A and B are shown apart, each in its own frame.
Chain A
């Protein structure tokens, strides 16, 4: 891409936000060129600066300018610093300790999964796991080599009635649960933000009332790779028979919530599982999980015949 083409694209990007208003494209291009090639300002900053200049110049309130960023599918997001809109389903919300962040998690559409970051300053209503949203006017970003979308003050989050599908490429894993990590077991979450409470304290909202939940953050290892997984209440109940009610009973009987984790550990740690789901940016997203029922005789026969073959070759 030569200089002129690049400036043309960026000019178009600026103009697209001022539809219906008369703006001289040459003026925009000139300013962009000056900032980018003379002053070596990063492209995004140049676009933002010129946009801000126009807002002031034309005396339009920020809310009024057309903020229809193009709707993109997640697989199309591969450059940082673009304004886009994304229709996606919130797959998972992560715990965040930073007061600057409102919510962080994963969202997906049929083409992929991407991390999203909702900044506290954006003052957006909270999104819920499993619901689909139009993330309007969000900025793409690259963090440690992975794409993510940032929801800022100028973005909108609109709940959709339709259910956005997730990538079909499901994986199946067979591996052993080799570790159960901190903040697992019979936990309490903040009623306001769903973060896991540590000693009754929410990282953002301080000392609050919590609600009970069961979850396991663990590591599945097959001897070649490892996958971090999160098992939710439903997964745990299916595998161990321990649901919220049972967990409450155990905790009150033993006067110790930690005892629930102890029980879960005994039932799960070191066992093999068959898991289907999809690989997120950090966690493997569990759809189905069950204890492995191996067909030992068949597997053994396969290995024995391969062993025979190798014997002959050596």
Chain B
């Protein structure tokens, strides 16, 4: 038996993720769903280390949670339900704000004005400042690589061409985002390096403050989105049977973990 190739967990800043609203139309029922981001990477799965800002049960005792996760560039929303049992179990034990690492699949909800992206976490775990800093560094590197590919006129692959057509991204804006994110962790790392080890144990509270500040800029936009999302969730709950089925199908697509045994 051949093993299905596992989807790579892409590294994309929240700023870029929250602007990703195009799902690739793949042929065949079984083919995985990808979200194309503005800098031209097709994601089925992402890995993030950021700050869990909020968790909120969508309605009492629904065991369906809405989370907001921030990195230095913005905020993304996620939903954790009983089909994500591993993530749900961990989420229940975590009190925000807290630095967490998340491995998640992506969902695109059809909004009234536009499509909205959310995370569907497979796993959530408490993390630390050092790990978060490296995630920002790594994500910055990957984003720069993608910007470079978009900039080059030559061998653009189809994904990049498509991203150009759909988003026509302002590459300078994305460079600014990379810069902002890297500067944020650099400053902090320097401060911690000076203050020594003792402080570095203090759970990176400084990081949370900084991120919260940056987040304010995004706030109005985020609120609009929240409204739409809430409405969307209500709709979904009215028709919960369909929702369940939809989720189940989604699970079916990724058999890598099941088929994995020798």
Contact = CB atoms under 8 A, between A and B. Distances in A.
Of A96, A300, A311, the most chain B CB neighbours within 10 A belong to A300
A146 to B, nearest CB: 12
B182 A271 contact: no
Interface in B139-155: 139-142, 144, 147-148, 151
Interface string A257-293: 0000000011001111000000000100000000011
A225 B131 CA distance: 19
B127 A223 contact: no
A224 B148 contact: no
Contacts of B102: 270
B233 interface: no
B134 interface: yes
A294 B133 contact: yes
B84 interface: no
Given A224-B8, A270-B103, A271-B131, A294 B137 contact: yes
A299 B144 CA distance: 13
Interface stretch (A31-39, A41-49, A50-58, A176-184): A176-184
Given A179-B257, A294-B137, A297-B189, A94 B103 contact: no
Of B127, B134, B139, B260, the most chain A CB neighbours within 10 A belong to B134
Contacts of B10: 223
A178 B133 CA distance: 17
A301 interface: yes
Interface string B149-178: 001000000000000000000011001001
Contacts of B123: 178-179, 269-270
B8 A226 contact: yes
A109 interface: no
B138 A223 contact: yes
Contact of A95 (B141, B189, B261): B261
Interface stretch (A10-18, A65-73, A78-86, A302-310): A302-310
Interface string A217-234: 101011111100000000
Contacts, number: 127
Contacts of B100: 270
B125 interface: yes
Nearest to A304: B182
A162 interface: no
Counting chain A residues whose Cβ lies within 8 A of the other chain, the interface size class is: 35 or more
Contact of B182 (A96, A181, A303): A303
B262 A94 contact: yes
Interface residues of B, number: 50
Contact of B130 (A176, A294, A297): A294
Of A94, A222, A310, the most chain B CB neighbours within 10 A belong to A310
A306 B123 CA distance: 33
B134 A304 contact: no
A306 B3 CA distance: 39
Contact of A223 (B47, B130, B147, B262): B47
A304 B186 contact: yes
A303 B125 contact: no
Contacts of A225: 8
B6 interface: yes
B227 interface: no
A303 B140 contact: yes
19 contacts: A97-B262, A178-B103, A181-B260, A223-B47, A265-B125, A270-B100, A270-B123, A271-B101, A272-B134, A296-B134, A296-B189, A300-B182, A301-B186, A310-B144, A310-B147, A310-B151, A310-B171, A310-B175, A311-B172
Interface of B: 2-3, 6, 8-11, 47, 49, 100-103, 122-127, 130-131, 133-135, 137-142, 144, 147-148, 151, 171-172, 175, 178-179, 182-183, 185-186, 189-190, 193, 257, 260-262
